[in-house]
């Protein structure tokens, strides 16, 4: 590695110095020194009766829009499920499973034996419908065309995740071994978009692409008490396999530095990673608690042969000298060492071209934070925090506008107040200062104010209010021009975000409760934009500058839900949510003589209405019949391509046992 890690290892070792003995080990030694006593009589076995339920049913579905049925398998299907919990001590079992279709399901199963064995497995499957987007806008220049190779295809993916965990404990000794394994699979057909052609005859192309992505991640580890500290070691390994359709091939026209040929593009690379982590900490029961972590991670891209090595270190110190006062210190360190090949070879059908590769950027980041908590009374708590972050980049000279280092200061003040028994309030202010930000979207400074309160005058009424305001500013934007290869300085970016949430929950009568809410969000930003300017195919000029381009998006969401119990054996719930969103960018016509307007492509205006109704009727003490209905209506107010609705009705019968 090119970077020294002496500071990291020193900080890691220093973190072990103030650690206090563990209370658990001290208690064990004290117990072993006591005189032996007669064995206590064996306790009788305890058995808790198994409880649960199972249901079967059928789900009817009708839809005419993938936008309205984003995560619904678009076919009717049988449905079933089971819930059970059983505790014949020292054994414990649980199972929760729901099957909506062969593509939508959820299962959570677990087993435990005393405190020696703990097993759990969670399986999730989700179907995701994707829109087929048409990019053939009218009014675009003649040099740009649009080709859809599969105009009649529909797109969707299936996501499956299985998380398995097993923990084993040594009998009568604080030592554990654990393993976790996560398997993720995503397959289906997606819309792949890419650009073909040459400078004066560009072709925006769309085609269907089958995917079969698989990833596996395994963690093996153990933890124990080692004298005055607790220690844990873990090994992590992961691998991503993109499947057989990981590379596309197309015919590209000739250019000054590349002959015409069939070349690969839109590559999905196979990647793998492996890491080691060591954690140590003192007892959590004392007034002083310390902890330290050291880890490293090796990552590799098997297509480009790019490799990276990451070292991370962390140290935490907590001191509570008094129940009213708490002091906290955190240090984080990360070193990223990138290793890229000096060149890359583009393999065409008849040609082989070699291009140089810019040296990738290696970084070193240090973060220090100090925070405190002061609770002068049971009704007031004040928290203050300061954080400093320093990021240093290596080999950044070839990347032109990227600074060699960036620094961030963050200050946060938070107060929790309870002025009355029925009122809770929380207010916070955060200030951030960015020196040499990496991207134009990162501000020089930001101010964020957040306020929340809840009022519960009676057990039947609760009012909740939340407001957030964030203001950002950036004074000097930087753009990199292609030809001539110069940086263009100047311009600014100012933005403001407002969020508001109001929720009311009340019990109108003994059998009837109501919840109503309103959520509002608005984002305003104004920024100078630069567009590339070309005089001929090989001759460029300074960019067009569009000053103070405003962008605004706004969303309102209203919801109302009711829960009604007309009789002891009947329950009803209903809800409606209405959301409307708008967005627009105010481009100006700075591209002289252009036959098109960017502003015409920017407006967004849509609304969505969701209704649901659930009715359940107990047929007997052990049987229940239920009906669940769901309706989603989507309305694209700018164009009608995504308009439509999805309706589902599920009838189930449930048996309790």
User: Which whole number is the average pLDDT over 561-571?
Assistant: 96
Q: pLDDT per residue over 466-494, tens digit each?
A: 999 999 999 889 888 888 888 888 789 99
Q: pLDDT per residue over 255-287, tens digit each?
A: 878 899 999 999 999 999 999 999 999 876 778
Pick the closest to residue 240 from 220, 267, 216, 212 (CA basis): 216
> Quick one: pLDDT at residue 6?
42
Q: Which residues lie across from 450 on neighbouring strands?
A: 428, 468
Q: 221 in helix, strand or coil? A: strand
- DSSP result, 582-594: EEEE-----STT-
Q: pLDDT per residue over 627-640, tens digit each?
A: 999 999 999 988 77
**Banded pLDDT at 200 (limits 50, 70, 90):** confident
Q: Give the length of the chain.
A: 657
**Banded pLDDT at 432 (limits 50, 70, 90):** very high
In sequence order, the 6+-apart residues with CB closer than 8 A to the CB of 170 are 176
**Banded pLDDT at 75 (limits 50, 70, 90):** very high
> Quick one: pLDDT at residue 524?
97
> Quick one: pLDDT at residue 140?
66
Give all strands (DSSP E) within 227-281, no chain letters.
229-241, 248-252, 261-265, 271-281
Whether the link from the prior residue into 55 is cis, omega within 30° of 0, is no
> Quick one: pLDDT at residue 587?
84
**Banded pLDDT at 457 (limits 50, 70, 90):** very high
> Quick one: pLDDT at residue 11?
39
Q: How are beta strands 493-509 and 307-322 bridged, if at all?
A: unpaired
Pick the closest to residue 587 from 545, 554, 535 (CA basis): 545
Could you tell me the pTM of the whole model? 0.85
Please state the φ and ψ torsions of residue 382, each to the nearest 5 degrees. -120, 130
Q: 598 in helix, strand or coil? A: helix
> Quick one: pLDDT at residue 574?
98
Helix (H) or strand (E) holding 108: strand 105-113
* Alpha helix segments (H runs only) across 266-410: none
Q: In this model, does residue 44 exceed pLDDT 70?
A: no
**Banded pLDDT at 97 (limits 50, 70, 90):** very high
- Could you tell me if 159 and 128 are in contact, meaning their C-beta atoms sit under 8 angstroms apart? yes
**Banded pLDDT at 7 (limits 50, 70, 90):** very low
**Banded pLDDT at 46 (limits 50, 70, 90):** low
Q: In this model, does residue 14 exceed pLDDT 50?
A: no
Q: How far is CA 162 from CA 108, 122, 124, 168, 187, in A?
A: 10, 6, 6, 20, 15
- Could you tell me if 107 and 122 are in contact, meaning their C-beta atoms sit under 8 angstroms apart? yes
Q: How are beta strands 352-356 and 307-322 bridged, if at all?
A: unpaired
Based on the number of CB atoms within 10 Å of its own CB, is 484 exposed (0-12), middle (13-18) or buried (19 or more)? exposed
> Quick one: pLDDT at residue 42?
59
Residue 266 DSSP symbol: S
**Banded pLDDT at 167 (limits 50, 70, 90):** very high
Q: How are beta strands 271-281 and 288-301 bridged, if at all?
A: antiparallel
Q: In this model, does residue 381 exceed pLDDT 60?
A: yes
- Could you tell me if 46 and 89 are in contact, meaning their C-beta atoms sit under 8 angstroms apart? yes
Q: In this model, does residue 589 exceed pLDDT 80?
A: no
User: Which whole number is the average pLDDT over 543-570?
Assistant: 94
> Quick one: pLDDT at residue 29?
41
User: Which whole number is the average pLDDT over 442-470?
Assistant: 97
Q: Which residues lie across from 573 on neighbouring strands?
A: 563, 614
- Which of 7-21, 341-355, 544-558, 568-582 shows the lowest per-residue confidence on average (mean pLDDT)? 7-21
- Which of 86-95, 158-167, 223-232, 441-450 shows the lowest per-residue confidence on average (mean pLDDT)? 223-232
In sequence order, the 6+-apart residues with CB closer than 8 A to the CB of 279 are 223, 231, 232, 233, 234, 291, 292, 293
Using left for φ > 0, alpha for ψ between -120 and 50, and beta otherwise, residue 321 falls in alpha
The proportion of the chain whose per-residue pLDDT surpasses 90, expressed as a percent, equals 71
- Which of 23-37, 469-483, 500-514 shows the lowest per-residue confidence on average (mean pLDDT)? 23-37
Instruction: Share the mean pLDDT of the chain.
Output: 89
Q: Which residues lie across from 273 on neighbouring strands?
A: 238, 299
Give the residue, 476 or 193, on which the prediction is more confident.
193
Say how far apart CA 354 and CA 348 lie, in whole Å: 11
Q: How far is CA 417 from CA 378, 414, 452, 591, in A?
A: 9, 10, 10, 55
Q: In this model, does residue 599 exceed pLDDT 90?
A: no
Q: pLDDT per residue over 300-357, tens digit each?
A: 999 999 999 999 999 999 999 999 999 999 999 999 999 999 999 999 999 999 999 9
- Could you tell me if 284 and 230 are in contact, meaning their C-beta atoms sit under 8 angstroms apart? no
> Quick one: pLDDT at residue 446?
98
> Quick one: pLDDT at residue 535?
81
Helix (H) or strand (E) holding 557: strand 540-567
């Amino acid at each position: 590695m090119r970077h020294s890690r002496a500071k990291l290892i020193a900080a890691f070792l220093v973190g072990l110095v103030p650690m206090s003995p563990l209370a658990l080990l001290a208690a064990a030694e004290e117990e072993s020194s006591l005189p032996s006593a007669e064995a206590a009589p064996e306790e009788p076995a305890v058995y808790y009766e198994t409880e649960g339920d199972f249901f079967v049913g059928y789900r009817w579905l009708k839809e005419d829009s993938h936008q309205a049925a984003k995560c619904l398998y678009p076919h009717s299907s049988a449905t079933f499920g089971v819930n059970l919990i059983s505790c014949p001590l020292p054994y414990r079992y649980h199972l929760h499973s729901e099957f909506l279709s062969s593509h939508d399901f959820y299962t959570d199963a677990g087993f435990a034996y005393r405190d020696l064995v703990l097993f759990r497995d969670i399986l999730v499957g989700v179907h995701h419908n994707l829109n087929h987007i048409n990019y053939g806008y009218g009014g675009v220049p003649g040099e740009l065309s649009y080709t859809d190779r599969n105009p009649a295809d529909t797109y969707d993916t299936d996501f499956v995740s299985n998380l398995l965990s097993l923990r084993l404990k040594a009998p009568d000794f604080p030592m554990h071994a654990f393993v976790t394994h996560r398997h993720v699979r995503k397959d289906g057909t997606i819309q792949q978009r890419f650009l073909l052609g040459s400078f004066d005859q560009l072709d925006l192309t769309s085609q269907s692409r089958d995917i079969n992505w698989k990833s596996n991640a395994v963690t093996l580890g153990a933890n124990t008490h080692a004298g005055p500290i607790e220690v844990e070691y873990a090994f992590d390994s992961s691998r991503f396999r993109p499947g057989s359709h990981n590379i596309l091939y197309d015919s590209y026209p000739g250019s000054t530095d590349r002959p015409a040929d069939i070349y690969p593009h839109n590559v999905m690379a196979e990647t793998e990673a492996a890491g080691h982590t060591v954690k140590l900490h003192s007892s959590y029961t004392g007034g002083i608690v310390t902890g330290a972590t050291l880890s490293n991670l090796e990552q590799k891209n098997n297509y480009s042969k790019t490799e990276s090595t990451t070292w991370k270190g962390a140290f935490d110190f907590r001191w509570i000298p008094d129940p009213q006062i708490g002091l906290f210190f955190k240090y984080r360190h990360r070193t990223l060492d990138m290793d890229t090949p000096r060149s890359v070879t583009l393999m065409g059908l008849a040609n082989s071209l070699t291009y140089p590769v810019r040296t990738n950027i290696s970084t070193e980041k240090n973060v220090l934070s100090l925070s405190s908590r002061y609770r002068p009374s049971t009704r007031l708590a004040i928290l203050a925090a300061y954080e400093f972050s320093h990021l240093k980049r290596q080999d950044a000279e070839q990347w032109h506008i990227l600074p060699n280092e960036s620094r961030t200061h963050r200050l946060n003040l938070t107060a929790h107040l309870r002025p009355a028994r029925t009122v809770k309030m929380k207010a916070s202010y955060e200030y951030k200062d960015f020196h040499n930000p990496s991207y134009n979207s990162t501000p020089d400074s930001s101010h964020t104010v957040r306020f929340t309160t809840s009022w519960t005058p009676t057990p039947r009424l609760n009012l909740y209010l939340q407001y957030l305001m964030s203001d950002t500013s950036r004074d000097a934007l930087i753009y990199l021009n292609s030809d001539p290869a110069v940086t263009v300085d100047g311009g600014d970016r100012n933005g403001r975000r407002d969020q508001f949430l109001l929720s009311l929950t009340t019990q109108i009568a003994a059998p009837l409760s109501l919840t109503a809410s309103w959520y509002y969000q608005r984002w305003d930003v104004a920024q100078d934009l630069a567009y590339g300017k070309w005089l001929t195919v090989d001759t460029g000029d300074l960019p067009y500058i569009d000053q103070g381009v405003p962008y605004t998006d706004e969303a309102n969401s209203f919801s109302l839900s009711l829960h009604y119990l007309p009789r002891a054996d009947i329950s009803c719930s209903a809800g409606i949510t209405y959301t409307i969103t708008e967005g627009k960018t105010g481009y100006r016509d700075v591209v002289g003589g252009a036959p098109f307007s960017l502003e015409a492509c920017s407006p967004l205006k849509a609304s969505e209405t969701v209704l649901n109704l659930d009715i359940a009727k107990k047929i007997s003490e052990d049987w229940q019949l239920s009906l669940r209905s769901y309706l989603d209506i989507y309305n694209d107010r700018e164009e009608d391509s995504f308009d439509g609705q999805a309706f589902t009705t599920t009838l189930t019968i449930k048996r309790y046992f």
